[in-house]
Structure 1
Amino acid sequence: MGTITKALDLLSLFARDRAEIGLGEFVRLTGRDKATVHRHLTELAENGFLEQHPDTRAYRLGPALLRLSALRETLFPVRKLLQPIVFELSEAVGELAHASLLQGDALSPVVHFDPSLHGIQVNFDIAEMLPLHATSSGLAALAFCPDDWQTRIMSRPLSKYTDQTISDPTALKSKIDSVRRFGVATVTGGFDEGVTSVGVPLFGEGGRVLGSLAVAVPSVRAKPEKLRDIALMLLKEAKRASTALGGTFPRDFDDLPLQWGDETTTQQVIS
């Protein structure tokens, strides 16, 4: 890991429940040398990526990120384009929907919405990166990534988040093959216990996978018929989202729903 990567990696430690982080906690979280961590923090603060609380001296995200975020959205309005699609999808299925984009070997959430129609809801953290092997979003994207990307993911240890997380490379390869065949990834309890999610890929220019569109449902409500309806809706909205992002949705995806006419095939899709 290079010096710049080590410095920028410190920014990923911030979360909704960790808005400010002191030097000592940075050292504990990273396991790195205190002097090195302090140097990286100082440089990030000098460039506006961090700022310090005037009293506690703890660090928090700085104004430079606001400027870059606003500029990114002005030049490439991803959130503006995806937000209405995610909102309409969520309202249509009555569950939490979200869109994420590939960032390194994980997914970065961009937009999410939950109509809050039920007493039991899925907790979604917009700041949490989504692993490719443990979520339907990640699997949907990973299945359409280049082969060398898939090989890299499967060649290293796969973290287990729950007892149901796929951590065996052979099992992961089998799951990827299924997702490529049906265009839809379904995961139950792989990242969050008690949550079932359905995801489909989003494509950019030249058919390059950009990320994914997904719906998350408490497993107690994840009946086969409901998951099938969600999958079909996702395929429709993912094509709309890919087009909005200037992408090209693979033509063979148009024929996928036609393959789901019998109960056995539908069960394979949502299993």
Structure 2
Amino acid sequence: MNHDIHVLDCYVKQFLSRITCNGKAMDMGTTTKALRMLDFFSLTGPEIGLSQMTRLTGYNKATALRLLTELVEYGLVEQDSDTKQYRLGSAVLRLAHLRESSFPTRTVARPFMKDCVEQSGECCHLALLDGFHLNTIAVEDSSAHSTRVVIDAAVRLPLHATASGLAVTAFGSQALREWVQTEKLEQFTSSTIVDPAKLEPVLERVRTTGLAESPDGFEIEVHGIAAPLFDAKGLAIGSIAIATPSSRMNEELRQRIYAILLNASANITRAWGGSFPASFRQHIQT
């Protein structure tokens, strides 16, 4: 284990061991509660007060304050001395830099993302699987049109309502497919598919074409198309996606984006040291 990984391992273990209540170490459920608070910060809501955090999490004020205090102590969150609101701390940047330095997924993918933008004239984003959702880790914007999709990298992408999520679910582990079949799925728009019986044919179509589409499934007037990215075992662990205003989508653009994304998926997967499952290999140039 190299030095940076060892530091990260010690840092996280030290933080987890310090979450206490009445002098006693808390269980992992309480640790999860503390780390869950980080999910509520976003580009549209970069600062959150104690009362708002209490409402968002459902924790009582004393619990929320105690957990925020622990997050502040380790730099994961910081508090504005004037407004008393909380925002993400510098430790988040340090950990993100360490993650990228040790496993440069974003750096490796960036040139291929730029190619996607240049060839399509639309926004491109890269997402990685994290549990039963995806996190956007990189965005490349396009200046080709005055009207374009703006991606909030802080927003988690659901499996069932986004092109990225559908691409990963279709080619991912059995656990992902079971999750979308058994969980109560959130209805984001009138176009969101929440019925498992209707979702399965969509996933089968993704496996057949190698690509996923979500017209207005997560946001109105956003048409997303995505291709999966694979690990060494041939399981989808992320996606490369292009998003365009739905009003601009037509068959010519759709077919162009299909070709662009399949090529990008192949290049990024190879660059990451991944391999393609037999069901996807037919869609790419070898």
TM-score scaled by structure 2?
Answer: 0.87
Q: Distance in 1 between matches of 2:159 and 2:172?
A: 11
1:238: how far off? 0.4
Query: Which of the residues 139, 143, 155 maps onto 2:182?
Result: 155
Q: Distance in 2 between matches of 1:9 and 1:254?
A: 37
Q: Distance in 1 between matches of 2:175 and 2:39?
A: 26
1:166 matched to 2:160: no
1:201 matched to 2:228: yes
Residue of structure 2 in register with 1:38 after alignment:
65
Contact between 2:173 and 2:236, CA under 8 Å: does it hold in 1? no
- Deviation >4 Å, runs of 4+: none
Contact between 1:232 and 1:257, CA under 8 Å: does it hold in 2? no
Residue of structure 1 in register with 2:209 after alignment:
182
Q: Which amino acid aligns with 1:132?
A: L
Query: Which of the residues 67, 75, 91 maps onto 2:102?
Result: 75
Q: Distance in 2 between matches of 1:158 and 1:12?
A: 19
Provide the secondary structure at the position in 1 that maps to 2:166: helix
Q: Which amino acid aligns with 2:149?
A: V
Residue of structure 2 in register with 1:27 after alignment:
54
1:257: how far off? 6.9
1:215-230 to structure 2, matched below 5 A, reads: 215-230=242-257
1:20: how far off? 1.4
1:122: how far off? 0.8
Contact between 1:186 and 1:199, CA under 8 Å: does it hold in 2? yes
Residue of structure 1 in register with 2:34 after alignment:
7
Structure 2, unaligned runs of 5 or more:
1-27
Q: Distance in 2 between matches of 1:133 and 1:79?
A: 24
Between the two proteins, the alignment pairs up a number of residues equal to 258
Q: Distance in 2 between matches of 1:61 and 1:242?
A: 31
Q: Which amino acid aligns with 1:245?
A: W
1:53: how far off? 0.8
Q: Distance in 1 between matches of 2:231 and 2:133?
A: 17
Q: Distance in 2 between matches of 1:153 and 1:253?
A: 21
Q: Do the aligned partners of residues 80 and 172 (structure 1) sit closer, same or farther apart at CA in structure 2, a change above 3 Å counting? A: same
Q: Distance in 2 between matches of 1:2 and 1:29?
A: 18
Q: Distance in 1 between matches of 2:217 and 2:99?
A: 32
Provide the secondary structure at the position in 2 that maps to 1:68: helix
RMSD (Å), alpha carbons: 1.5
Aligned sequence identity (%)? 41
Contact between 1:86 and 1:97, CA under 8 Å: does it hold in 2? yes
Q: Which amino acid aligns with 1:198?
A: I
TM-score scaled by structure 1?
Answer: 0.91
Structure 1, unaligned runs of 5 or more:
259-271
Residue of structure 2 in register with 1:90 after alignment:
117
1:154: how far off? 1.8
Contact between 2:166 and 2:203, CA under 8 Å: does it hold in 1? yes
Q: Distance in 1 between matches of 2:152 and 2:230?
A: 24
Q: Deviations over 1:84-133 (max 9, x none)?
A: 11111111111111110001111100111122211211121111111110
Q: Deviations over 1:44-64 (max 9, x none)?
A: 111111111112221111121
Q: Distance in 2 between matches of 1:54 and 1:148?
A: 44
Residue of structure 2 in register with 1:265 after alignment:
none
Query: Which of the residues 223, 237, 241 maps onto 2:268?
Result: 241
